[in-house]
Amino acid sequence: MVGIKWTSKPLFVLLIILTVSGCGEVGVIMKSQIDTLKSVLKGSSELCMGDIEWVDFIMINNIKYLQNFGETKEVTVTSNQLGDKVGEVSYMLSEHACTDHVAKNGDAAFLPIGTDIYAMEGYKTEFRVIADNKIYEVSDNPNAATIGDLLDINGRVVKVSLESGMDGSPIGDFTMDASSEFIQELLPLSHVSFNEVYEKTKHENSIFLRVHLQDSTSFRLVYYPKANAFTAGAFGTERLNEIIMTQRKQIKAAAGL
């Protein structure tokens, strides 16, 4: 049967069962059982229909990490940034999982099974790891009580800058004093779930901030001024809101915006 490609192993098994059962070569299979199996397979097929746009993530030790894509320099295997092995990929979601998949330790969106995951020298593993020569940064840590627990950046920040909300391009930098006070106000904030923040910010325009670290890497923080909230999972203080809005106004004025 040239040109036929089986795309679903469960469906293939079902067809064999139906064919053999119909020929009377095996015991009787109840119609209700077959209908149930059909229903299950139909639901699974519908979940997997079309291309699924996975976010590039990995999960180990109950912590989810997202690739710091395009915002830091690529790490090479000979770099002194590569630390001890802390895990490996046991399942790749792309082309294998459906939309109902629940992430678990060892999962990765695009990394092949067996890909090693390493600590990143100079940082706590809870904040950053390296896999396939790429930096993966924490997005969800259920054990983080504060933003300081979530982001291992205390004493590592060079500056904070403002980016365009349209295309992410740089607009200007906070003053050194403002950058320092921003971090001092940020790190003690209580860490809350993304859902708590989302409920307060889902209809609000955001401000893009970038935190630059001493090793020349950086990451973005998304801030919502009306809710005084960060998508990293925190609600800010009045002083933190004041710092951000004052610096934003000054930077945009200097840029003629």
Q: Which of 142, 166, 184 is the last residue of a domain?
A: 142
Is there a single domain that holds both residue 135 and residue 164?
A: no
pLDDT tens for residues 119-177?
999 999 999 999 999 999 999 999 999 999 999 999 999 999 999 988 889 999 999 99
Cα 61 to the center of its chain, rounded Å: 15
* Calpha distance 233→139 (Å, rounded): 9
Looking at the domain assignment, is residue 7 inside a domain?
no
Q: Which of 142, 161, 178 is the last residue of a domain?
A: 142
* Calpha distance 150→139 (Å, rounded): 8
pLDDT tops 70 at residue 18: no
pLDDT tens for residues 28-86?
444 444 444 344 334 444 456 556 777 899 999 999 999 997 777 777 766 788 999 99
pTM, 2 dp: 0.77
Q: Which of 142, 173, 198 is the last residue of a domain?
A: 142
- With tokens 């995951």, the residue in question is 117
Is there a single domain that holds both residue 169 and residue 92?
A: no
Is there a single domain that holds both residue 153 and residue 61?
A: no
Tell me the residue range of the domain where 159 lies.
Answer: 144-257
Is there a single domain that holds both residue 214 and residue 197?
A: yes
Higher-pLDDT residue of 42, 111? 111
- State whether residue 201 is helix, strand or coil: helix
Is there a single domain that holds both residue 109 and residue 203?
A: no
Q: How many residues does the chain have?
A: 257
Q: What is the CA radius of gyration of the chain?
A: 24
- Select, from the ranges 24-28, 72-76, 102-106, 177-181, the one with the highest average predicted confidence (pLDDT): 177-181
Q: What is the pLDDT of residue 112?
A: 95
Q: What is the pLDDT of residue 98?
A: 81
Name the CA dihedral angle for 71, 76, 81, 84, rounded to a multiple of 10 degrees. Answer: 120
Higher-pLDDT residue of 71, 212? 212
* Calpha distance 20→28 (Å, rounded): 10
Q: What is the pLDDT of residue 25?
A: 42
pLDDT tops 90 at residue 110: yes
Looking at the domain assignment, is residue 231 inside a domain?
yes
Q: What is the pLDDT of residue 207?
A: 97
Residue 85 φ/ψ, nearest 5 degrees: -70, 135
Q: What is the pLDDT of residue 240?
A: 98
Q: What is the pLDDT of residue 66?
A: 95
Cα 96 to the center of its chain, rounded Å: 19
Higher-pLDDT residue of 7, 184? 184
> Looking at residue 110, what DSSP letter applies?
S
User: Number of folded domains in the chain?
Assistant: 2
Is there a single domain that holds both residue 126 and residue 210?
A: no
- State whether residue 104 is helix, strand or coil: coil
Residue 206 φ/ψ, nearest 5 degrees: -110, 165
pLDDT tops 50 at residue 12: no
